[in-house]
Structure 1
Amino acid sequence: MLQIPAWKRVLILGLIALGLLFAAPNLFYNRVEQHNDAITKMERTGVETPEDLAAKSGWPDWLPSGLVNLGLDLRGGAHLLGEVHVADVYKARMDSLWPELRDALVAQRGTIGAVRRVTAPEGQLIVEIANADQIAKAVEIARGLATPVASISGAGSTDLDIKGAGNRLTVQLSDAEKAATDDRTVQQSLEIIRRRIDEVGTREPTIMRQGADRILIQVPGIGSAEELKKLIGTTAKLTFNPVVTRGTDANARVSAGQVVLPSMDEPGVYYTLEESPVVTGEDLTDARPSFDQNGQPSVDFRFGPAGAKRFGAYTSSNIGQPFAIVLDNQVISAPVIRQAITTGSGQISGSMDVESSTRLSVLLRAGALPAEMTFLEERTIGPELGQDSIEAGRLSAIIATVAVVAYMIASYGLFGVFAAVAVITNVILILSIMSMMGATLTLPGIAGIVLTVGTAVDANVIIYERIREELRRGKRVAKAIDDGFNEAMSAIIDANVTTFIAAMVMFFLGSGPVKGFAVTLTIGLVTSVFTAIFLTRLLIVLWLDLRKPKELVL
């Protein structure tokens, strides 16, 4: 029957009212955005400034505050494509393996003789032993340090490729371990970049892997690509290394396992350090901007239990000796150990301002990038260009809506007006659902909305044409309308299911702009079916109840 129960009428109108309510914040975009940003900032810092409180009061807390996030092409921002130098990790792995391998070989010094590390190609560890006839024993000891590869493709393989020839033992990562390490390095870089960007409160960044060793980074609302590079392009690798000597020669000769690094605050001063650190930034659990005893900006840090234990043991056994705090291959400071540091906390100070101390604390909290990253592509999209895109998208949506509404009214009269109401409601529901989801609207997404406006009336056209056929057969108005809706249902569902499948394929297999188009198209399909079948039917039923027409010209 054409009649709609009261509870179903209330449900339909209630869903539309909710859609209007959740879409409303987008009419006051800047005010609501400032409200949300103030709340986020106060939650993150725990500080309530007058400016933040004023921004927070700009929108009532009891109203929905979800917004459709604007993508890079609408808001403006920065675009970077970076390449991760995965081979850097091979060298770091060999450097970290050397102390353990040295201790294992030294324990058998009576058999294999003296042990020393010699210069080797990047990613290799070469060790010389005194007794060449015991090289097989040295290989056996080294293999005892190997572990299974932690990946499905490397099942049954070990992580080290070990060879012995003459009096030299050569160790490097196996091919299976290199493949697993490459994948872990890129995934770790992705996560660290995401944490660094999230720390500064940017909105809806796009951070995704491309190919084997590349990462795409798009951050709406940030000033420039250079600003983004400063945030994520620094390795921020913090280490605490034993000091061998201090001098002014940048090319001083060093032994294997040692490195010469410049001082950050003392031009012309260079430190020779043990390359293997006592502790690293990975042992940090927290880093906060602060001020030192002289009132200068600094960074307070704290180690986790394992790092605090190693640092405490080292400082206890090296009182009176200097140690270096190294950040990105520069010695920040090299204080002398006056007493054992067992609290697991410390302070980094030097030539920095408040902004740089804040940025350094963000980088240290997020962790060090496991390998260097080179930026192959960078673009800055200005907010003016984004605003132009918004205006163009808004204009196209308005023109499309007006054209569709005019056509429907011209073709179907009053029923065309009902279809027009459904089309406009459909757009509002799309925006409300995207606001609730926190979805990002891009320029292709606007194209998806415009396309939805054009196709949203397809269901109405099918229904109205079926009603016309039923009227030609001489059926009464109510019966013709009821049969028209029922007969058109299968065709409507079939048409939308096939489009839905295509949208899902675009979403899961596409990337970037294609996904933005697929999101709005998918949401539009669901809302257009709802408005065409339920809202249009409700409007027609209300009209029938009010006018009770004996004839219908459609």
Structure 2
Amino acid sequence: MKNYPLWKATLVILVISLAIIFSLPSLLYKENSNNWFFDNKINLGLDLQGGSYLLLEVQTEVLMQEELNNISDSIQLIARGLQTNIINIISEEDEIQLRFSNNDKLEEIREKFKNNYRNVNVTINNNTMKIVINEIFKKNIKESAIKQSLEIVRKRIDESGTKEPLIQRSGKKRILLQLPGIKDPERIKELLGTTAKLTFHMVDDEDTISLKANRAPFGKIIVADFYNPEIKYLVEKKSRVGGENLVDAKASFDPQEGHAVSFRFDTTGAQKFGKATSENVGKRFAVILDGVVITAPVINTAITGGSGIITGNFTSQEAADLSVLLRAGALPAPLSIIEERSVGPGLGADSIASGKIAAIIGMICVCIFMILIYGVFGLLANLSLLANLFIIVSLLGTIGATLTLPGIAGIVLTIGIAVDANVLVFERIKEEANKTTSALEAVKNGFDKALSTILDANITTLIAALLLFVFGSGPIKGFSITLSLGVLASMFTAIMFTNFLIYLWFNFSNKKEINL
């Protein structure tokens, strides 16, 4: 093309062609497609396609009680090693009192205990030791539990196959979930409501007296059976190996027991598991999940390969869900659902229809205005505006963005501001046309002189959009993404595509002067 660089023309044609091609999946929106091309489409958010909204709360009170129990166990082990008897233990909200038979070795017990627990206050009064958890200790435990719960919830939701969920922290100890397309969240609630703390303990079948009396001796606990709570097991309190050593778990099928879950340990877990089974051949090994025994098989031979299988009258879905939970890891504390809402697809359909109408009306008004004011140049600006929309849609689809109502607002806003750059260019061309006799020279000077103003205006908008993305959350981020992509697309179409169209029009029309 005369007076226009070949590389610019090639770049413009290539970008616009790719934009049209990659916007087709989102515009056609073919559901449940196995084609990689149609999978690159815009995902609709909760407010557009419906779904479920859940607000979870981490039960940190349970966590503090567990920590007090751990402190009590630690003191008992130290006292036992120093041959000092504990007469009484009283546990309250954030403190624990232990009364000893004498105070001969209380200072030594305190020193050994403080080596492991630094952020606690320990006082001694005669033969009584009082341990108080301070605010720093509690804050660290709670903060760690919230962060860990957030990551585990994210893993569980991702493993369940939910597309484009929104998972974020809300307040001090709450987690917000938005699950687009999930009309029945019962399975998700079951996945999130299970702590999934898996441990392996040796069963004590010899001490039947303690089991019948329902009183566990030191170092042992009594645990009920999952399927029949009346059946009790006396097991070692300290687990031989835990779920933290699992590296994989998946649903499988055992010819004799039916649906099961096969698991595999890491190197450390495999060594612990191998040692436990080697030393206890002929004894029972209890698999405890969330405080109940799901199976307690007899160890027939040492298992040194680091893998095994859990059976327990599972259905196919239960085995699949348990494998998801074990892969994601155990929650540090239980989660409770404090708010649940369902959004129907009807509201989303109305929103999409309203968004389309707003976009169409906005485009028509802008197009009419541009043609009335700038004539042929206005028509070329309208073509640039259409290309701008194709670029935005193709970019959103390529990155797999989730479109929400604020996102639609960002696109509609982009339509209004997309012609700003064209208006600046056309006004500059009009000024240059009065100074020079050459139309093409006026066009070139107009674009060159308007460039700095266009960049300044759009960069300030991009900075604002970036701040919204960094400090905003959820829908605000969606708005900032569509606004940013719209600004970048409008800069390209105004500086490159409109310029290309004007030179193309001059080459085909053989016009010698500009009418603006």
Instruction: Please indicate, yes or no, whether the TM-score normalized by the shorter chain is above 0.5.
Output: yes
- Distance apart, 1:249 and its partner CA: 10
What amino acid does structure 2 have at the position aligned with 1:375? I
Q: Using a 3 Å threshold, how does the CA distance of structure 1 residues 125 and 495 change in structure 2: closer, same or farther? A: same
Matched, 1:13 2:10: no
- Distance apart, 1:188 and its partner CA: 1.0
Residue 428 of structure 2, aligned match among 456, 466, 469? 466
Cα deviation, 1:483-542, whole Å, max 9, x if unaligned, reads 332332233222212222221121111111111111100110011011011111111111
Residue 549 of structure 1, aligned match among 508, 511, 515? 511
What amino acid does structure 2 have at the position aligned with 1:34? S
**SS of aligned partner of 1:34:** coil
What amino acid does structure 2 have at the position aligned with 1:16? I
Instruction: Select between 230-239 and 473-482 the one with higher mean Cα deviation.
Output: 473-482
**SS of aligned partner of 2:199:** strand
Residue aligning to 2:308: 346
Cα deviation, 1:62-94, whole Å, max 9, x if unaligned, reads x58522222222232222121112343333344
Distance in 1 (CA, whole Å) between partners of 2:220 and 2:123 is 24
Distance in 1 (CA, whole Å) between partners of 2:22 and 2:210 is 66
Residue aligning to 2:162: 202
1:301–1:346 contact (8 Å) kept in structure 2: yes
Instruction: Select between 328-337 and 523-532 the one with higher mean Cα deviation.
Output: 328-337
Residue 535 of structure 1, aligned match among 494, 497, 514? 497
**SS of aligned partner of 2:91:** coil
Matched, 1:236 2:210: no
**SS of aligned partner of 2:226:** coil
Residue 145 of structure 1, aligned match among 97, 100, 116? 116
Q: How does 1:95-134 map to 2 (within 5 A)?
A: 95-96=69-70, 101-109=75-83, 113-115=84-86, 118-121=89-92, 127-134=98-105
Residue aligning to 2:143: 183
- Distance apart, 1:166 and its partner CA: 3.2
**SS of aligned partner of 1:30:** coil
Matched, 1:292 2:279: no
Residue 526 of structure 1, aligned match among 485, 488, 508? 488
Matched, 1:90 2:64: yes
Distance in 2 (CA, whole Å) between partners of 1:224 and 1:250 is 44
Residue aligning to 1:34: 33
- Distance apart, 1:25 and its partner CA: 2.3
- Distance apart, 1:358 and its partner CA: 0.5
Residue aligning to 2:344: 382
Residue aligning to 1:455: 417
Give the % identical residues.
Answer: 41
What amino acid does structure 2 have at the position aligned with 1:85? Q
Residue aligning to 1:192: 152
Matched, 1:66 2:40: yes
1:225–1:378 contact (8 Å) kept in structure 2: no
What amino acid does structure 1 have at the position aligned with 2:116? L
- Distance apart, 1:105 and its partner CA: 3.3
Q: Using a 3 Å threshold, how does the CA distance of structure 1 residues 318 and 92 change in structure 2: closer, same or farther? A: farther
Distance in 1 (CA, whole Å) between partners of 2:208 and 2:392 is 66
1:248–1:268 contact (8 Å) kept in structure 2: no
Q: Which has the higher contact order (CA 8 A, sep 6+)?
A: 2
Distance in 2 (CA, whole Å) between partners of 1:117 and 1:71 is 57
Distance in 2 (CA, whole Å) between partners of 1:450 and 1:121 is 58
Matched, 1:485 2:447: yes
What amino acid does structure 2 have at the position aligned with 1:68? I
Q: Using a 3 Å threshold, how does the CA distance of structure 1 residues 120 and 290 change in structure 2: closer, same or farther? A: same
Cα deviation, 1:118-177, whole Å, max 9, x if unaligned, reads 35235656555433232112111212333xxxxxxxxxxx34443333334444654333
1:115–1:127 contact (8 Å) kept in structure 2: yes
Matched, 1:78 2:52: yes
- Distance apart, 1:16 and its partner CA: 1.6
Provide structure 2 residue ranges, at least 5 long, that are not aligned to the other structure: none
What amino acid does structure 1 have at the position aligned with 2:26? N
Q: Using a 3 Å threshold, how does the CA distance of structure 1 residues 295 and 255 change in structure 2: closer, same or farther? A: closer
Distance in 2 (CA, whole Å) between partners of 1:493 and 1:250 is 82
Distance in 1 (CA, whole Å) between partners of 2:210 and 2:183 is 40
1:115–1:128 contact (8 Å) kept in structure 2: yes
Residue aligning to 1:50: none
Q: Using a 3 Å threshold, how does the CA distance of structure 1 residues 291 and 64 change in structure 2: closer, same or farther? A: closer
Distance in 2 (CA, whole Å) between partners of 1:305 and 1:457 is 62
Q: Using a 3 Å threshold, how does the CA distance of structure 1 residues 208 and 337 change in structure 2: closer, same or farther? A: same
**SS of aligned partner of 1:395:** helix
Distance in 2 (CA, whole Å) between partners of 1:10 and 1:246 is 86
Q: Using a 3 Å threshold, how does the CA distance of structure 1 residues 375 and 542 change in structure 2: closer, same or farther? A: same
Residue 231 of structure 2, aligned match among 261, 269, 278? 269
What amino acid does structure 2 have at the position aligned with 1:183? E
Q: Using a 3 Å threshold, how does the CA distance of structure 1 residues 247 and 339 change in structure 2: closer, same or farther? A: farther
Distance in 2 (CA, whole Å) between partners of 1:536 and 1:553 is 16
Cα deviation, 1:7-50, whole Å, max 9, x if unaligned, reads 1111122222222232222234225x521xxxxxxxxxxxxxxx
Instruction: Select between 446-455 and 389-398 the one with higher mean Cα deviation.
Output: 389-398
Q: Using a 3 Å threshold, how does the CA distance of structure 1 residues 308 and 452 change in structure 2: closer, same or farther? A: same
CA RMSD, Structure 1 to Structure 2 (Å): 3.0
Residue 515 of structure 1, aligned match among 477, 487, 496? 477
**SS of aligned partner of 2:514:** coil
Residue aligning to 1:51: none
- Distance apart, 1:97 and its partner CA: 5.5
Matched, 1:212 2:172: yes
- Distance apart, 1:362 and its partner CA: 0.6
Distance in 1 (CA, whole Å) between partners of 2:386 and 2:209 is 75
Distance in 1 (CA, whole Å) between partners of 2:91 and 2:319 is 37
Distance in 2 (CA, whole Å) between partners of 1:492 and 1:343 is 66
Matched, 1:331 2:293: yes
1:138–1:169 contact (8 Å) kept in structure 2: no
What amino acid does structure 2 have at the position aligned with 1:141? K
Provide structure 1 residue ranges, at least 5 long, that are not aligned to the other structure: 36-58, 147-157
TM-score by length of structure 1 reads 0.84
Residue aligning to 1:24: 24
Q: Using a 3 Å threshold, how does the CA distance of structure 1 residues 529 and 96 change in structure 2: closer, same or farther? A: same
